[in-house]
Structure 1
Amino acid sequence: MSIAPARIDEQTIRALPKAEVHVHLEGTFSLIDLLTLAKENGVALPGPAATLFDISTHTDFETPEVTTGGGTGTGSAGLSGFLRFLDWQCGLVRTPEQAARVAYAFAARQSASGVRYSDVIVNPTHWNAWRGRDLALMDALSAGFDEAEQDGLCRVGIAYSLLRGQTAADAEDAVARLADASLRRVVALSVDGDEKTTGRTGEKFQNAFAIAASAGLHRTVHAGESSGPEGVWDAIDLLQAERIDHGVRAIEDDALIARLIADGVSLGVCPRSNITLGIYDGWASHPLPRLLAAGVRVTLNTDDPAPMGTSLEADWAVAADQFGFSHDDMVGFARRSLEASFADDDLKRDLLTELEAVVTASTAAEVTA
């Protein structure tokens, strides 16, 4: 009689040093963050505090201007409410001190999940109080990340994200200012938003991403989520993407799979987000195992964990349970997350060494048990 493999629990996952490379700062505000900020600014909540994250119940948010960008994109009515919610909550951050506090809280939450390094995506179009002051926002967030690092918490790099609905001129101006400023924690350029609504935007942002590459910034692109494989092709061919956020629809194109493997482009996959927002009907239909089996470099991430009621270790544990992943598979996800991150070479080497030491100690403990 065969014995079922032991479940990979969240404690085991937290013990693995790892990175998270596809997570939006806008999607990490906790309930206490929002309540505190609302009180400080004298802003009424858009609904009962107990159901604040049930964004399907809210249609009105106190935002000066509703954007159409965000970390996810299905083009559904649910997405519209979700994006309004992000605008509302980010609009509560109005001072440098508040921005720094949000950044510090993010690093603390990542550390609690065993995350040693994060590339966090920040889309300034959500932060209404910082319109025209996006570089000041980056500085304020960096101050919070600096304090967190000094306190021994997760180290963080910022991926400054363009909005798909921006004009080419606006995008190029933003990236040129980023390049001139050489902000210490801005390590990459990103673009996010609803592919289904905007259509293909690779050509529009080609010059902006070329400026970023010339300035030494990494490039990561949301693609292959609500759009098909064509968005991933554009990200690679037009935007010089080193990493794709989502990219799951690449499974529909064998030639694209071969290209991802040949170029070593990793996919920052977020299964719970894909399922919650209707990209796939459920875990059984999600292509994560097929992407891995094909040889694509895949990492596991949360996307927008707070409004989805999850954490990185919870999502890894569910994936292990749903797909039958072993502890060795989890170690593989941890290793790939560090390798795919935009951490500097020294930090990446140190974290990979730490991971191997944890795995060796764990194996030795099992042998002597």
Structure 2
Amino acid sequence: MSAPTAPHRTAPRIDEELIRTLPKAEVHVHLEGGIALADLLKLAKDNGEHLPGPAATLFDVSTHDEFAMPDLTTGGGAGVGTGGLSGFLRFLDWQCGLVRTAEQAARVAYAFAARQSVSGVLYTDVIVNPTHWHAWLGREMALMDAITAGFDEAEQDGLCSVGIAWSLLRSQTSTDARQVVESLVDARPSRVIALSVDGDEKVAGRTGTKFEEAFRLAKAAGLRRTVHAGESSGPEGVWDALDLLQAERIDHGVRAVEDPLLVERLVADGIPLGICPRSNLTLGVYSGWDTHPIRALMDAGVKVTLNTDDPEPMGTTLVHDWTAAAREYGWGLDDMAGFAARSIDASFATEDLKAQMRSRLAATVEGLR
């Protein structure tokens, strides 16, 4: 009598439900871009602020040729931001300016952790750039305390664990940057685990030399380093991030594909890229999924992670973006499990937490086969 034939199992369908079940981290997402529309409208109402446009289209800034609103950095007058990335950054200035109390900041942080958890995210390196939060000028450590309180409560309630990457703005001076790091070293906010830099490369130009001292001090103090580069300008910013800022991870980095030597460097040094395809398409860095270089970078051996960047204004979630990428590129379970594993490896979570996440991921994938 012959042995029974093992039942044939078809490959699981890659959909949002499956993606949600995969334990994962997210390493490139901004708290400034994680404020939901309903929360934003409540903040405006609580503060008695008029909206700059209709509520229903408030998040449509990426399609505007210009985004005009009060110039909060100069204390009055009308400022007009250009479209694309610059206009989007100006929108973030306006919305974060609505967060004016510790309770409001904590609520924003808690809600962010809750939304991350819905996508199956167990840990997040969230980027916070205090220069957007104008009500907290000169009180940045108090802002960190308030945000930390929200994340602490969220984690106590069983939601996503979050570490904070304090981000410099490219227009800040070298003195500003050094003082930020010195303040961080002195205060040691409990959830601030990394130093970052963001902003529009095309407008600011090369800023690696300017921030070299700050990142050197950050490394000496045990802070991790991640740098926005290779988005609105070319590969040169990625070179500077590696050579001058000693970056351990590059946020975006997609335009590294234009320089074969740089790609070889990323592979040789094992530098992960925090790529955000939907953000790149929405802000016009690439025209479509078919022209995006994510597959070329992966084929070259670069460690690529999939992230959302600014999910609320982009109208997306991590689950939605992973599912869309799988559909566009024909990726299956092994591919998506690979993204989950790389997200954990690329994160700045503790080694104990990474081990726990890897174990949960392996068990989940085995159960899906």
Q: 1:332 to 1:38 in 2, by over 3 A?
A: same
Which region of structure 1 is more displaced relative to structure 2, 252-261 or 20-29? 252-261
Asked if 1:21 is matched to 2:30, the reply is no
Superposed, 1:249-268 pairs within 5 Å as 249-268=255-274
What is the CA-CA distance between 1:6 and the residue it aligns to? 6.5
Q: What code does the residue aligned with 1:263 have?
A: D
Amino acid at match of 2:328: Q
Residue identity in the other structure for 1:204: K
Q: Using the TM superposition, give the Cα deviation of residue 252 of structure 1 relative to its aligned residue in structure 2, in angstroms.
A: 1.2
1:114 and 1:127 mapped to 2: Cα distance?
Answer: 28
C-alpha separation between the residues in 1 aligned to 2:84 and 2:277?
Answer: 17
Q: How many angstroms apart in 2 are the aligned matches of 1:281 and 1:81?
A: 18
Identity of aligned residues (%): 67
Equivalent pair of 1:66/1:87 in contact (CA under 8 Å): no
Q: Deviations over 1:270-320 (max 9, x none)?
A: 011111111111100101111111111000000011111111011111111
Alpha-carbon offset, residue 66 of structure 1:
7.0
Question: Is contact 1:223–1:232 with CA below 8 Å preserved after alignment?
Answer: yes
3-state SS, counterpart of residue 47 of structure 1: coil
Question: 1:309-339, CA deviations, whole angstroms, 9 ceiling, x for partnerless residues?
Answer: 1110111111111111111100000000000
1:121-168 deviation digits (Å, cap 9, x = unpaired): 000010010001111111110000000000000000000000000000
- Which amino acid counterpart does residue 68 of structure 2 have in structure 1? D
Residue in 1 aligned with 2:336?
330
Q: Structure 1: where are the runs of 5+ without partners?
A: 68-74, 364-369
Superposed, which structure 2 residues align to 1:213-228 within 5 Å? 213-228=219-234
The answer to whether 1:236 aligns with 2:245 is no
Measured on the aligned residues, the alpha-carbon RMSD in Å equals 1.6
TM-score, with length taken from structure 2 = 0.93
Amino acid at match of 1:136: A
Matches of 1:331 and 1:6, distance apart in 2: 12
**Which residue of 201, 208, 213 corresponds with 2:207?**
201
2:159 is aligned, of 140, 153, 158, to 153
Residue 67 of structure 2 is aligned with which of 59, 64, 68? Answer: 59
Q: State TM-score, norm by structure 1.
A: 0.93
The 5 A counterparts of 1:301-316 are 301-316=307-322
Aligned length: 353
User: Take 2:195 and 2:86, find their aligned partners in 1: how far apart are those partners?
Assistant: 24
Residue 87 of structure 1 is matched in structure 2 by: 93
Match of 1:71 in 2: none
User: 2: distance between equivalents of 1:269 and 1:329?
Assistant: 16
Whether contact under 8 Å (1:66, 1:84) holds in the other structure is no
Aligned: 1:348 with 2:358: no
| SS at 2:151 equivalent | helix
Aligned mates of 2:86, 2:348 — CA distance in 1: 31
What is the deviation of 1:224? 0.7
Report matched runs for 1:158-173 at 5 Å: 158-173=164-179
Tell me, yes or no, if structure 1 residue 187 matches structure 2 residue 216: no
